[in-house]
A and B are shown apart, each in its own frame.
Chain A
């Protein structure tokens, strides 16, 4: 039996894109998850917060914002003797 040659995905792509895309209409590659997306996923799991996939982008946006503010705090050198400020009376 003569086997049909297996068409590679590469060759399929070539066939399908005989014409090059007009300039400015390049397909935008889907955003690759970064470390914040990973934190959102893992933290939600650890905290037991069920995540609707539609919320992930908004949560990741806000977490990036929080981390930007946190970086500013983190960069400031504080002496070891400084106590945290919350009020607690024993």
Chain B
């Protein structure tokens, strides 16, 4: 057992550092996991990021890893690294809540989600399931059933959503890695609000098998961490075709870890203009810092970005409603009222216009691919403002007052709409961070991660350590 101060030092250790310590024998996997569990017990009283802590499973797994190491059996690149998952991923033995009250009545999952299996195959250790916005229809990180996950940089503020518990747990030093999902911005928004790195890979890159869907046409899964190296390490462990996800594309695995140090030299980078123009002082400061650091002086217009957001909004409303139709008929009163009203309204969206939104998606994709013939990377803010207060209903967007719940993802929706890979990089402004999206062409996660790595190495992007 580590003493309290040594255990606390581990709180801000990166996944790669912990894996190296365990591989060298300086720490055992069990020591890392015990310190993690102790930290969760203590700090999560404030953060409310976990909905289940899988203590026994984590200890059993850590002991097994230590036994394997002692007997000279090979270990994976994440051996002994604790991680947690948004509670829409199946965890064997737990009901998959997806942030809801209704799913508490479901059978317990028989098998882990595909990405949990892959991370554990690489030696990582699952320590629990994380709070999230109900059924992922959320940008705030608030949850009427479990209470809001809280922002480690200011407990009165939102984490952003819907992967709010993932943002809080990583930013608060509870775990170095967390899985999230992103349909319209649900990894990138909490990464921005909580000041951490988030990776939303290309649509179809990572397997969604055995996770609770929201909008099949737009759902992505991805991860959050405090360094780019950790994102790459875990991402590489999770890549690969999976026939259990009908959207997962059968492509050759492209490990990005070895490519990070190639940096951003030679890449053609532009800042998204027009629709993406910053409208607050902190937003302007963040995008300027990144542009100056990368030597970018060029703007690029994203064609019909506002319409793309509207099309994503419409498809989300309609497909989300379709998924929930039976539950809306039988258990509507058990939903968060804000989610219920949106879902019922979505069921009433005209089908002809939803199909048109899917057609527009094709048109928009073709236009964006033309842009990528001329640039390698596009920079855009991840959120229009820093984390709002919990319960805050509106925020100022220039001179317009907009509802928080529907608009925190105003800059993320037009990007995930066509599945582009994005790394959200946190810019540690004072007093609160905000993230910038590094957007690349489909299947070029390597490029987005290289640019993120450069910004981190230059001290422009960093996950600030909170004082909780």
Q: Interface on A for B, CB 8 Å cutoff?
A: 39-40, 43-44, 47-52, 55, 58-63, 65-70, 72-74, 76, 78, 82-87, 89
Most buried by B among A66, A68, A82: A66
B317/A76 in contact, CB under 8 A: no
Q: Interface residues of B: mostly helix, strand, loop or mixed?
A: helix
Known A62-B342, A66-B348, A76-B307; 6 more pairs at CB < 8 Å = A47-B325, A63-B348, A66-B345, A70-B357, A82-B362, A83-B362
B44-52, B152-160, B192-200, B328-336: which lies at the A interface?
A: B328-336
Among all A-B residue pairs, the 10 with the closest Cβ atoms? A62-B345, A58-B341, A84-B358, A69-B310, A85-B361, A43-B348, A63-B345, A72-B310, A70-B353, A69-B313
Complexed CA–CA distance, A86 and B360 (Å): 11
Q: Is B77 an interface residue (CB 8 A)?
A: no
A44/B344 in contact, CB under 8 A: yes
Contacts of B180 in A (CB 8 A): none
A76/B304 in contact, CB under 8 A: yes
Q: State how many residues of chain B have any CB contact under 8 Å with chain A.
A: 43
Would you give the shortest CB distance from B369 to chain A, in whole angstroms?
13
Would you give the shortest CB distance from B396 to chain A, in whole angstroms?
19
Interface residues of B in 310-364 (CB under 8 A from A): 310-311, 313-314, 317, 325, 328-329, 332-333, 337-338, 340-342, 344-350, 353-363
A86/B304 in contact, CB under 8 A: no
A89 and chain B: residue at smallest CB distance? B246
Would you give the shortest CB distance from A68 to chain B, in whole angstroms?
8
Contacts of B314 in A (CB 8 A): 66, 69-70, 73
A74 and chain B: residue at smallest CB distance? B353
Contacts of B228 in A (CB 8 A): none
A49/B362 in contact, CB under 8 A: no
B347/A49 in contact, CB under 8 A: yes
Complexed CA–CA distance, A69 and B342 (Å): 14
B359/A83 in contact, CB under 8 A: yes
B358/A86 in contact, CB under 8 A: yes
Q: Is B204 an interface residue (CB 8 A)?
A: yes
Contacts of B328 in A (CB 8 A): 49
B347/A47 in contact, CB under 8 A: yes
A49/B359 in contact, CB under 8 A: no
B311/A58 in contact, CB under 8 A: no
A55/B310 in contact, CB under 8 A: no
Contacts of B358 in A (CB 8 A): 84-86
A87/B204 in contact, CB under 8 A: yes
